[in-house]
Structure 1
């Protein structure tokens, strides 16, 4: 396609697979807030399922590949990508975290790109990671993230440097990805975007050798964001596969808006208040720890999950019953409840996690999923016992477990709460779950008073 088009054609504009559930809702928020009707499915969508959502322009599929091996990806991603490609969107987006954390053994973005290119084709594969709204910035190929107003190169980021599964030891994303795929990489940097040389540089990247290259595109501000979107959309050809953060969604919609194809001020309404919420947190980030402390200091009943007990079959049920009694008592009294598995990376439960897993005969990955399953079961039983309107889940793995056990088929965005963690509406064949309000929050998302925002809206 050329830049001569004067409108957005009918039909789907983009289809995406989210490598975890919180990231999937992040991408859905970016598109919906820009005026692009979006629906997120929990199973591969069919044309029949789409009929329930007339006018949809973007379709997502929530997945769990961020915590999976390349062998798992090879077994599961082909079907997921094929189902999304069949919907006919010109761009197939593999949505990754805006911190790009991954490794050759776990959550390999390189492996996903190889599989995606087999299905979608294209003569290049753009990668847009920077997302200024989420305080993520890519400059000359290096990724930076801000925490509490302080910017860090990702290999010096206080959380990502110490991530328990995929720590980031390299901020140059080309070098980082080179450990995951032999495919050559290129870069369109922020200077080339600002002076108008982006398309010429892309041509150089394409012609260097045979085979579709992976081309990173710097994004550091609104200007480079828009130019990244322009480059991807006008050079999409007959179709593209892109492994990108929600920065791709923000970039494309910025370009479409600049052309007058989207409303200038779409946005999302603010979430309204509710009397109380139930929340579970499986995140061990310092951001989540600060949010738990805030909730405790502001009237939430906060209860810690005993990880050692939840990993042992003969102790699991007793631990669930204890937490249900404590959280249920708070909800019955009109008080919000939060059950958490860790309070930051220095929590003793995190330090002893490998020992707990070994004692239970589980690998680290299996143990992490078992913790998520316990939190999901707590949420399911709380909802069975209390007619809650709104619930919150913190942590990507935990969000996936909760959404699955509740029998949710799809999600749409209702309102804004904090960037990257919108208020969603559940769609389910179960009338007790249909219409439930959920917020699925990644560990790095939100400010200290996040749970207050989730409760009070505004």
Structure 2
């Protein structure tokens, strides 16, 4: 493999795997696979890029660092020449981390300096200007992310946020430098590296900015950012003759389908509301889950009773409702029980012959992907066609593959659920 990615959640991993597999015209992308956790076996020989999906975004910092270093070692053993630490395009993290501590550990392990920090993903409205992160026309701190139940983002200045998470220096490469071209960016980063600065927050307001940055860091051992930072990286290796490039296969699968939503983001709540207007839906009663009265068998029973009707089960509540439940039962306890509930539901569905599962929410996706990988006995997920920007179809297993769509809470059009199932079933 040439490029190795360490992603701090599962939906983000799918996002950047999709970016690497697509690439840009005329070169195209790389032969890419996504792995739920660090594999114990070598990667398939044909792969040019591998994405390891961790659950390190909200894990204890020591665990996040240890898991990320283990992933790094495996990727290096596969021959990777460039490592990407992938986090959310809204820089989701607590005040203490884990972006800073993990990035610092990886940089020290690779002896990297002036490591690019760029969460920007203009295609989905995330831009970085003067070090400040925007979600469409709103600062990050006014975008709704300030109410996130696990990683509330109340400061849009990525330099400040990262500075609180690491003892290492945090520099900045402004938009004016990026717009001046590849050599301008390369010179700015080289100067910061000579000065000993470990991280460089780099502005980007367009895809062209990302392509400029990507060419400037063609030989960088470590890069950090959202999936957009990978936009121009495949062509660097293709132009060098090190990669052949590959197109995503068009895949489709017959059989029953289900939708599992565990995100409380505004986008997901809108998608749930739209889908529930015309299709059967089941709102999970979280207190009853905590009491043991709602189980995976309850959810599977509902889904089976509506086979062929695109049934949806969800725990997507308004922020104030989520806070009240977390206050009553404890944030970690609620998250753990819901993850386990969705994972067991997915495991049972696969055992019953379900081959198309759409999932909303990073933590929920992680739990479901691991459960399906265990059920299929195959960790490598093939990257299929794109549903919406940043969200591809994933195929897991060679015999009777299970198709997954792992959607970050804030991603996808209002009709994402229906669109995903159409693509999974019709291959369009």
Cα contact 2:261–2:314 (8 A) shared by 1: yes
The aligned residue for residue 81 of structure 2 is 90
> 1:55 and 2:21 equivalent?
no
Distance 1:61 1:168, change over 3 A: same
Q: How far, CA to CA, are the matches of 1:49 and 1:207 in structure 2? A: 36
Q: How far, CA to CA, are the matches of 2:244 and 2:128 in structure 1? A: 27
Cα contact 2:4–2:80 (8 A) shared by 1: yes
Residue of structure 2 aligned with 1:277, choices 252, 257, 263: 257
Q: How far, CA to CA, are the matches of 2:135 and 2:238 in structure 1? A: 26
Distance 1:203 1:409, change over 3 A: closer
Aligned pairs for 1:53-452 within 5 A = 53-105=44-96, 107-146=97-136, 151-158=137-144, 160-196=145-181, 197-208=184-195, 210=196, 212-234=197-219, 236=220, 240-253=221-234, 268=248, 277-298=257-278, 300-312=279-291, 315-316=292-293, 318-331=294-307, 334-346=308-320, 348=321, 350-357=322-329, 363-385=330-352, 387-406=353-372, 407=374, 408-427=378-397, 435-452=401-418
For residue 345 of structure 1, report the CA deviation from its aligned partner. Answer: 2.7
What 5-or-longer segments of structure 2 have no aligned partner?
Answer: 24-28
For residue 261 of structure 1, report the CA deviation from its aligned partner. Answer: 8.6
Distance 1:257 1:448, change over 3 A: farther
Q: How far, CA to CA, are the matches of 2:243 and 2:72 in structure 1? A: 27
Distance 1:232 1:37, change over 3 A: same
DSSP 3-state at the match of 1:66: coil
Distance 1:400 1:36, change over 3 A: same
Runs of 4+ aligned structure 1 residues displaced above 4 Å come to 254-264, 266-276
The aligned residue for residue 2 of structure 2 is 13
Q: How far, CA to CA, are the matches of 2:270 and 2:402 in structure 1? A: 27
DSSP 3-state at the match of 2:186: helix
DSSP 3-state at the match of 1:67: coil
Q: How far, CA to CA, are the matches of 1:414 and 1:292 in structure 2? A: 24
TM-score of the superposed pair, with normalisation by structure 1: 0.84
Cα contact 1:19–1:66 (8 A) shared by 2: yes
What 5-or-longer segments of structure 1 have no aligned partner?
Answer: 1-11, 358-362
Cα contact 1:291–1:448 (8 A) shared by 2: yes
Distance 1:113 1:22, change over 3 A: same
For residue 389 of structure 1, report the CA deviation from its aligned partner. Answer: 2.6
For residue 24 of structure 1, report the CA deviation from its aligned partner. Answer: 0.6
Count of equivalent residues: 413
Q: How far, CA to CA, are the matches of 2:236 and 2:133 in structure 1? A: 22
Q: How far, CA to CA, are the matches of 2:241 and 2:178 in structure 1? A: 21
Moved more, 284-293 or 255-264: 255-264
For residue 277 of structure 1, report the CA deviation from its aligned partner. Answer: 2.1
The aligned residue for residue 26 of structure 2 is none
DSSP 3-state at the match of 1:382: helix
The aligned residue for residue 30 of structure 1 is 19
Q: How far, CA to CA, are the matches of 1:282 and 1:249 in structure 2? A: 27
Q: How far, CA to CA, are the matches of 1:446 and 1:438 in structure 2? A: 15
For residue 260 of structure 1, report the CA deviation from its aligned partner. Answer: 9.6
Q: How far, CA to CA, are the matches of 1:128 and 1:13 in structure 2? A: 21
Cα contact 1:226–1:251 (8 A) shared by 2: yes
Kindly provide the CA deviation profile for residues 261-302 of structure 1, in whole angstroms up to 9, marking residues without a partner as x.
9899x765667586752011110011001111111123x211
Distance 1:13 1:369, change over 3 A: same
Over the aligned positions, Cα root-mean-square deviation in angstroms equals 2.4
Cα contact 1:227–1:255 (8 A) shared by 2: no
For residue 200 of structure 1, report the CA deviation from its aligned partner. Answer: 2.5
Distance 1:330 1:411, change over 3 A: same
